[in-house]
Structure 1
């Protein structure tokens, strides 16, 4: 069945591939991105010529921009069947080396950006008593790693939003899923897309060579695994399509897509769900 799908962060990486993949399957895709008349004008034009695609300006870090984008979309199409929160920014560095302003900027995009789109789309989905929201988080959303603590903290927050809303929105038949990618060769990870990295180099220097060596070892290991397991970003776009094609009510809360994890991510998800169930019974029974 043809769906009306709103995707954020479509100028590159997963978002662009999702747009191309879903549109090719016949779905109507509203491809949201910043700078459609500026820095992203070329890719906006590239996607606009595709059948079933409409590019729309949206900055998920701006209240007015999000409201306007969804108002225009709902006015034109009447409803949105699927929202995909893909827009995000990464960053690297020691936690102490981050200014609070830098961390706030990351949360404005990765965390508050998701809240803004939810608040914009939920009234129409509740009215329709139907909907699907897919949030792209991280393969490490169940834990954290050094040198990326603010990023993972923002993604932890999205996991919490998704899990809680799954219960709050159940009566309206609105499903919520997090896609948990591993490390993929997208613009977010290859350095071509600017991130929000630590901005207090004088603190980083105080950590000395050991921190630099630890970071290099971690990054080198991840890049080696990326190559070893041939991590193709198309896997994420195909995973989104698979979720959309699943019958309503059958979709999982968390959908890991990380070959490097070799099944341990799903094992962790299952174990956490089972322990949570037993934990809650202690309060409810």
Structure 2
């Protein structure tokens, strides 16, 4: 069955790949992004040229923008079958070098933006007793790499948000699941980001942090030069989740080819422990 699928952050990266992938399958795609008449005009025009895709202005940090976009989709199509929360921004640097305002910027997109979107579409999904929400998280929502602690924290918060709602929505016919990519080369690093910018703090950490940064950079350089994972894998994983029968979708879908299966092993191990822990609460 063809579905109406709304994707946030669809101008580039995973979002644009998902839009093209779902369009090719014949689904009605609502590709959303900010600044469709100026900064992102070329991206909007490219996606609008696809046969089954519409582009709508949407800023996940703005309540009115979110509400207006969702109302527009319902007015045109009467429903939203699938929401893909893909919009996100990156940040790097020593945690102490971040101001509270900068961390709030990260959370406003990566966490509160998802909450805004979910709250906007859930009334319609609950009424239909049908719906799927796929939220793009990250492997650093499960393990916290140094020098991007603020970004990691936003993804950890996101994981908690979705894990709790997964259980809350299960009895209402709505599924809310996580897609957890590892290291992929996309525009998230080069586009809008919030880095810790208090240089005096960065300098105070000195050579200890420099050594950590160098080891991380060397690891990612090796990954991306020897066998860089194809970002299309993430779009294909989202398609796979949409195609699965209700009730069979896992809460988490880890996708980090460079981990050589450790991501799946980690999730499986913690899931078993979680089940035993939750049983103490009668769940």
Match of 1:21 in 2: 21
**Residue 166 of structure 2: aligned partner:** 166
Which residue matches 1:197?
A: 195
For residue 261 of structure 1, report the CA deviation from its aligned partner. Answer: 1.2
Q: Which residue of structure 2 aligns with residue 222 of structure 1?
A: 220
**Equivalent residues in 2 for 1:83-122, closer than 5 Å:** 83-122=83-122
- Equivalent residue for 1:78? 78
Q: Counterparts of 1:224 and 1:194 in 2: how far apart (Å)?
A: 25
CA distance in 1, matches of 2:217, 2:68: 39
The two structures, once aligned, show a CA RMSD in angstroms of: 1.2
Q: Deviations over 1:65-95 (max 9, x none)?
A: 1111111111111100000000000111000
Larger displacement relative to structure 2 (32-41 or 223-232): 223-232
> Following TM superposition, by how much is the alpha carbon of 1:284 offset from its aligned partner in structure 2, in angstroms?
2.7
Partner secondary structure for residue 196 of structure 2: coil
Q: What does residue 49 of structure 2 align with? A: 49
Measure, in 1, the Cα distance between the counterparts of 2:198 and 2:282. 47
Cα distance in 2, alignment partners of residues 73 and 248 from structure 1:
23
- Superposition TM-score, scaled by structure 2 size: 0.97
Distance between the aligned counterparts of 2:56 and 2:282, measured in 1?
Answer: 45
Matched residue, 2:276: 278
Q: 1:5·1:84 contact (CA, 8 Å) conserved in 2?
A: yes
By how many angstroms is 1:201 displaced? Answer: 1.0
Which residue is equivalent to 2:234? 236
Cα distance, 1:249 vs. partner? 1.1
Q: How far off is 1:202 after superposition?
A: 1.4
34-43 or 224-233: which moved more?
224-233
Any conservation in 2 of the 1:229–1:259 contact (CA below 8 Å)?
A: no
Instruction: Output one character per residue of 1:143-166: Cα deviation in whole Å (capped at 9) or x when no partner.
Output: 211001111111111111111111
Distance 1:281 1:128 in 2: 31
1:99-120 alpha-carbon deviations (Å, 9 max, x no partner) = 1111100100000000000000
Q: Distance in 2 between matches of 1:283 and 1:119?
A: 27
Structure 1 stretches of 4+ with a deviation exceeding 4 A read none
Match of 2:280, SS? Answer: helix
Deviates more, 1:68-77 or 1:210-219: 210-219
Q: Given that residues 6 and 82 in structure 1 are in contact (C-alpha distance below 8 angstroms), is that contact kept between their aligned partners in structure 2? A: yes
TM-score (norm 1): 0.96
Q: Is the 8 A contact 2:185 2:228 kept in 1?
A: no
Q: Is the 8 A contact 1:28 1:53 kept in 2?
A: yes
Deviation at 1:193, TM superposition (A): 1.2
> Tell me, which stretches of 5 or more residues in structure 1 are unaligned?
none
In the TM superposition, residue 128 of structure 1 has moved relative to its aligned partner by 0.4
How far did residue 194 of structure 1 move? 3.0
Asked if the contact 1:29/1:52 (under 8 Å) is kept, the reply is yes
Distance 2:211 2:279 in 1: 45
Question: 5+ residue gaps in structure 2?
Answer: none
